[in-house]
Amino acid sequence: MELARQGLAKVTSYEDRRKLKYRDELIQAQDEAKQKKLGVLK
């Protein structure tokens, strides 16, 4: 979770697999990092 929050990881989810427990939180953290232009998500 912290890597996504810092913009150092990209969240990938596949529809044909079961839902990840923290999927929504990870995507939200990634979106916030994109907005703040952090890490590799600039």
Residue 17: both structure tokens together = 């697999």
User: Per residue in 1-42, pLDDT tens?
Assistant: 999 999 999 998 888 778 788 999 999 999 999 999 999 876
**Look-up: residue for tokens 């427990």?**
21
Distance CA 25, CA 33 (A): 12
29 is in which domain, residue-wise?
Answer: 2-12+19-41
pTM of the model: 0.80
Number of domains composing the chain = 1
Q: Give how far the C-alpha of residue 10 lies from the chain's centroid of Cα atoms, to the nearest Å.
A: 5
**Tell me, what's the pLDDT at 13?**
84
Residue type present at position 4: A
Residues sharing a CB contact under 8 Å with residue 40, sequence separation 6 or more, in sequence order: 7, 8, 10
